[in-house]
Amino acid sequence: PVTEAEAPQLYRIVRQLAAEARIPVPPIYIIQDDSPNAFATGRNPQHAAVAVTEGILRIMNEDELRGVLAHELSHVKNRDTLIMTIAATIAGAITYLAQMAQWAAIFGGGRRSDENGGGGSAIGALLMAILAPFAAMLIQMAISRSREYQADASGAQLCHRASGLAQALQKLDTASRQVPMEATPATAHLFIVNPLTSGGLASLFSTHPPIEERIARLRAMRL
């Protein structure tokens, strides 16, 4: 982590917001990346960390940076990393069970259908085994999007106004397209804006809601 002497503004803002949220001040990291983004991680407020990229520090004014950090500290306070870990574990378990059912339908269903005329049930089990992992993933991504909305709302409440975060999201939407961040689907949910592009049906599998919808909700808040 960076020290307070190296990043006095970051520590000052995080200390104020952590006191407002009534959580410990987490370690702060600065990532050497020109793409503007930020994330928080940790299973609970006592074991958490906040990271920002060099890119986001260059383009944000203090009010916008405060909104971004409030969003990330809200993830910490709400234990969203733990929630998403549990969701991913459940989705993985469903996928594993579906694969087992698929193999059972392929190798066991044929014999039973020949003996009992139960081909329909084997086909139904096979279809369920194929569709279940997609359903599990859709639910997992929907949970992730709902946690982003909640972190936006909680972050605005920590700042006692929503304008800073709304302006930050608008700026991040433009800047992140110009300087994309290298990320994987496994880590995309961590960031304040989705580092992976998505649109159309792919948005159903996105970890983040549309930025324009997030901004609209923030601007509709009355604090």
Query: 131 and 199 in one domain?
Result: no
Q: State how many domains the chain has.
A: 2
Considering only residues 223 and 4, tell me which one the structure prediction assigns the higher pLDDT. 4
Query: 113 and 152 in one domain?
Result: no
Query: 98 and 76 in one domain?
Result: no
**What's 30's DSSP letter?**
E
- 103-162 residue pLDDT tens: 777 776 555 555 555 556 667 777 877 888 888 888 989 999 999 999 999 999 999 999
Query: 101 and 169 in one domain?
Result: no
Query: 145 and 206 in one domain?
Result: yes
Cβ-contact 29, 1 below 8 angstroms? yes
Per-residue 3-state assignment (H helix, E strand, C coil) for 40-53: EEEEECCEEEEEEE
For residues 19-47, average pLDDT: 94
Cβ-contact 102, 127 below 8 angstroms? no
Helix ranges (H only) for the chain are 8-21, 54-59, 62-77, 80-116, 119-159, 163-178, 211-220
Split at pLDDT 50, 70, 90, the class of 101 is confident
Query: 190 and 95 in one domain?
Result: no
Q: Establish whether 72 is a catalytic residue.
A: yes
Residue 1: inside a domain: no
Query: 24 and 12 in one domain?
Result: yes
What gap in Å lies between CA 87 and CA 141, rounded to an integer? 9
Q: Given this model, what pLDDT does residue 134 score?
A: 86
Q: Given this model, what pLDDT does residue 117 score?
A: 52
Query: 123 and 100 in one domain?
Result: yes
Q: Given this model, what pLDDT does residue 73 score?
A: 97
What gap in Å lies between CA 97 and CA 130, rounded to an integer? 11
Last residue of a domain, one of 110, 137, 164: 137
Q: Which domain holds residue 126?
A: 83-137
Mean predicted lDDT score pLDDT of the chain = 86
Residue 128: inside a domain: yes
Residue 3: inside a domain: no
pLDDT value at 199 more than 70: no
Last residue of a domain, one of 137, 152, 181: 137
Cα dihedral 57, 62, 64, 65 in deg (nearest 10): 50
The CATH code of the domain that includes 205 is 3.30.2010.10
For residues 51-76, average pLDDT: 96
Residue 99: inside a domain: yes
Q: Given this model, what pLDDT does residue 220 score?
A: 96
Residue 27: inside a domain: yes
Q: What is the pTM of this model?
A: 0.82
Q: Given this model, what pLDDT does residue 83 score?
A: 92
pLDDT value at 27 more than 70: yes
Residue 2: inside a domain: no
For residues 58-63, average pLDDT: 96
Considering only residues 206 and 204, tell me which one the structure prediction assigns the higher pLDDT. 206
- 73-95 residue pLDDT tens: 999 999 998 999 999 899 889 88
Query: 148 and 44 in one domain?
Result: yes
Query: 208 and 147 in one domain?
Result: yes
Split at pLDDT 50, 70, 90, the class of 48 is very high
Q: Given this model, what pLDDT does residue 192 score?
A: 85
Query: 94 and 46 in one domain?
Result: no
Catalytic-labelled residue, pool 4, 54, 72, 148: 72
Query: 173 and 114 in one domain?
Result: no
Considering only residues 182 and 83, tell me which one the structure prediction assigns the higher pLDDT. 83
Residue 26: inside a domain: yes
Q: Which residues are registered as beta bridge partners of 28?
A: 50
Considering only residues 115 and 49, tell me which one the structure prediction assigns the higher pLDDT. 49
Q: Given this model, what pLDDT does residue 99 score?
A: 80
Residue 174: inside a domain: yes
